[in-house]
Structure 1
Amino acid sequence: MAIAARSRTGFYRQEVNRTVWEVPERYRDLKQVGTGAYGTVCSAWDRRSGTQVAIKKLHRPFQSQLFAKRAYRELRLLKHMKHENVIGLLDVFTAEISLDRFRDFYLVMPFMGTDLGKLMKMERLSEDRVQFLVYQMLRGLKQIHSVSVSILKVSGKPPCLILDFGLARQADAEMTGYVVTRWYRAPEVILNWMHYTQTVDIWSAGCIMAEMLLGKPLFKGNDHLDQLREIMKITGTPTPDFVLKLQSQDARNYIRSLPKVPKRDLPSIFSKASSNGTRALSVASLPKSLLLLGFFCRLSRVTVRRSGERPGKDAPSGP
């Protein structure tokens, strides 16, 4: 059970799951709702606004230059995101009063009661629902890309919001291979194609779209090499031209050492998902949209703007 104690004037200290939080008195009823490698999130009641919020405490944000850059990116990007499909920043604070003691800071954002993963566990999404969620996701990505960042994580409570900027980078930066969660990583990320672009998010969007249709991840690898093998089971072996463009000689050698795998018919994968009769997937619309997202071929993968131009039949219109 959390125990509250007095702290800096206007703040109070509370222990939540063995982590000490020091927050303004306006935020009450802290309850942990999530934790990860880089931060912990609590829900709280904002007495000033009369709304529930999410407060994120970053884990040791200044312990290294890498962690400090990550914290800076998240704060800077959240400040600039003003879009209904992208999470925004309500407040930022620290309990410290001097720079010498500055160790922690907290980000306050709107509270989202669920995420897409939980939503898919609760119900099988209809085709119309999938189209609507994908359209919102692409709208959010378009906004994010307009300020030259590359990141993707989705919250599934309408309206669909993209959130969590802890690993966001400028699109032209050289990036490490663990920016995107493994099952949603584009091949060029796995293969350390250092100068990859915002189109890695299109791959991730396609993977999320496929998961909504199938009810399970499309590529579920156990490690980065197994992830590549899972991708090639559907996309087939990369072309020689693709392999030649890889900067890593080790990656080129590894791809060439693998047995040749034929490309699978993507619509047939989704037709199996509807064989139980619960709903009929439109092979003429959504699976073709997946093909439009340009699986595997980085050079032909479309941008968010182009994918948003063809969201599927009867899809919502808008910016």
Structure 2
Amino acid sequence: MSKVKVLTPRKVPLTAETDNYFTSSKSSSYSDRSEDISASSEESESESYSESTTNSSEITTSSTDKEQSDSSQDNSESEESNEKVNENSLDEDTKKLENLISFPVAGTEFTVDQKYKYRKKIGQGAYGIVISAKDKTTKDMVAIKKIIGVFDRLTDAKRTLREIKLLKHFNHDNILCLKDVMVPPVKEKFSSVYLVTELLATDLRQIINSEQDLTEDHVRYFLYQILCALKYLHSGNVIHRDLKPGNILLNENCDLKVCDFGLARFSDPEEENPLLTQYVATRWYRSPEIILGWGEYTSSIDVWSAGCIFGEILNRTPLFPGKDFMHQIELIIKIVGKPSKKEIKTIQNKRARSFMKSLPNKKKADFSKIFSTSSEEALDLLNKMLQFNPKNRITVDEALKHPFLEPLFDSDDIQLCQENFDFSFEKDKLTKKKLRNLIYDEITEFVENKNIPKNDNL
């Protein structure tokens, strides 16, 4: 396969996106714009590291979850009252430590191991700033993400803890690898976390929006790697829940890695009450069952997102760029068709069910006209991935063995997660103080287990 040349993507308009038509609970989100490129509205609700990243806080549409979060935050205020620290004073303490170097990046101070030589800023968003750097000991280029204000909100702290734990747990060629973590200088005071990962040249969103020629071989290879990553995640009972082009990193050889696991959740089909909540992921790639509150959802939501990405690569434009929830569903129906009356009856949310009934009947669109340059095999797989009813949607295993991917399929590529990820910490009542201790413990454990040289003064 020919290499993908990295090009600068064209500008994408920014629009607001903070609504949820089918739920009454309030949600809050915020997003930043990269200095290098405008971010599209579908990027406004979650985060990834890349030159064009736009980030936001995790949005909760479950009133129960929100009440628990608010209650935990209120209870933790007294515990945190004596922990407020002058950031400048903390930075000064950090600078005095041996083997560390500090430098300014976009108005914030980066303090990392002196073995890392700063190159440039490659991303900025609400969750923090990402830079590229050279590891002088290995000569490798890395990405360093500084997550700022980790404990400003409980959801931010939970997301940080979740991502660190998941990145530590995963070991797959198509999943971003955590290489290093900076140990906070003071356990009781730190408010930022530094994650060091592999550095890739670009992300799939930039490639899609560039003038780079993409053959069907490129599309096949991208999709195959995404599905291999999903097979690994799902085998460990993990649902990504925020799969989108901006969360898929690429290098010049078309090697692909999935990143950003802050919204990931546990999924076990054998468990009666799986720990799943209706957190809002990025709308354009959100499955119908999430939008409509269909009920319990499964790993098939990742298959839907992968199908949306598949179609977007084929046409070089998003399939369902909804302006709001109702518009999102209308766009989906226009292409995949309206579900049957029997299927609509299974939607648990009454408001969503009434909305679906009110929509005009629509048959599935002719994919060969929408994707006029794509092969029959590609369109057959796309159709099976974009089934409105999750029960009719193709599984990851079936997709990997589909004729479209047959030229690439190799059973040796299918890696399974050796141990299921433990999400039990999500069930605990987590205060800011407890989350601070848990994050610190995760970081120090990673450093010890990976045999990363640790500063004795930290």
Q: TM-score, normalised by structure 1?
A: 0.89
State whether structure 2 residue 386 is matched by structure 1 residue 290.
no
Report the AA paired with residue 304 of structure 1: V
2:255 to 134, 143, 159: 159
- Conservation of the 8 A alpha-carbon contact between 2:224 and 2:405: no
2:265 to 169, 178, 182: 169
* Structural mapping, 1:20-35, within 5 Å: 20-35=109-124
Deviation at 1:222, TM superposition (A): 1.4
Deviation at 1:194, TM superposition (A): 4.7
1:308 to 375, 381, 400: 400
SS of the residue corresponding to residue 391 of structure 2 reads: helix
State whether structure 2 residue 190 is matched by structure 1 residue 102.
yes
- Structure 1 residues 194, 22: CA separation in 2 closer, same or farther (over 3 Å shift)? farther
- Structure 1 residues 9, 25: CA separation in 2 closer, same or farther (over 3 Å shift)? same
Deviation at 1:149, TM superposition (A): 1.3
Gaps of 5+ in 1: 275-280
In 2, the alpha carbon distance for the partners of 1:150 and 1:311 equals 25
Deviation at 1:95, TM superposition (A): 3.5
> Once the two structures are superposed, what CA deviation does each residue of 1:25-50 show, in whole Å capped at 9, x if it has no partner?
11121522112333322111111211
Q: TM-score, normalised by structure 2?
A: 0.63
SS of the residue corresponding to residue 74 of structure 1 reads: helix
Deviation at 1:263, TM superposition (A): 2.2
> Once the two structures are superposed, what CA deviation does each residue of 1:212-238 show, in whole Å capped at 9, x if it has no partner?
111111111112221111111112222
SS of the residue corresponding to residue 326 of structure 2 reads: helix
Once the two structures are overlaid, the 10-residue window that deviates more, 25-34 or 123-132, is 25-34
Counterpart residue number, 1:205: 306
Q: Kindly report the root-mean-square deviation, in angstroms, between the aligned alpha carbons of the 2 structures.
A: 1.9
Deviation at 1:264, TM superposition (A): 1.1
State whether structure 2 residue 364 is matched by structure 1 residue 263.
yes
2:206 to 118, 140, 153: 118
> Once the two structures are superposed, what CA deviation does each residue of 1:142-184 show, in whole Å capped at 9, x if it has no partner?
11111111112312322111111121111232223422x2211
In 1, the alpha carbon distance for the partners of 2:96 and 2:388 equals 53
Deviation at 1:67, TM superposition (A): 1.8
In 1, the alpha carbon distance for the partners of 2:232 and 2:276 equals 22
Report the AA paired with residue 409 of structure 2: S
Counterpart residue number, 1:43: 132
SS of the residue corresponding to residue 178 of structure 2 reads: coil
Counterpart residue number, 2:331: 230
How much identity, in percent, do the aligned residues show? 36
- Structure 1 residues 194, 78: CA separation in 2 closer, same or farther (over 3 Å shift)? farther
> Once the two structures are superposed, what CA deviation does each residue of 1:123-150 show, in whole Å capped at 9, x if it has no partner?
1311111111111111111111111111
In 2, the alpha carbon distance for the partners of 1:254 and 1:20 equals 49
Gaps of 5+ in 2: 1-90, 268-273, 415-458
Report the AA paired with residue 183 of structure 2: T
Report the AA paired with residue 257 of structure 2: L
SS of the residue corresponding to residue 15 of structure 1 reads: strand
Deviation at 1:302, TM superposition (A): 2.1
* Structural mapping, 1:118-197, within 5 Å: 118-120=206-208, 121-151=210-240, 152=243, 153-157=247-251, 158-171=254-267, 172-179=274-281, 181-197=282-298
Deviation at 1:23, TM superposition (A): 1.2
- Structure 1 residues 53, 258: CA separation in 2 closer, same or farther (over 3 Å shift)? same
In 1, the alpha carbon distance for the partners of 2:310 and 2:403 equals 12
> Once the two structures are superposed, what CA deviation does each residue of 1:218-271 show, in whole Å capped at 9, x if it has no partner?
111112221111111112222222222222111112212223233212232111
Report the AA paired with residue 348 of structure 2: Q
In 1, the alpha carbon distance for the partners of 2:151 and 2:108 equals 17
In 1, the alpha carbon distance for the partners of 2:156 and 2:294 equals 23
> Once the two structures are superposed, what CA deviation does each residue of 1:257-307 show, in whole Å capped at 9, x if it has no partner?
223233212232111xx3xxxxxx212x10001122242121111221111
Once the two structures are overlaid, the 10-residue window that deviates more, 33-42 or 158-167, is 33-42
Deviation at 1:311, TM superposition (A): 5.0
In 2, the alpha carbon distance for the partners of 1:30 and 1:73 equals 28
In 2, the alpha carbon distance for the partners of 1:7 and 1:290 equals 56
Counterpart residue number, 2:143: 54
- Conservation of the 8 A alpha-carbon contact between 2:307 and 2:385: yes
Counterpart residue number, 1:18: 107
In 1, the alpha carbon distance for the partners of 2:381 and 2:135 equals 41
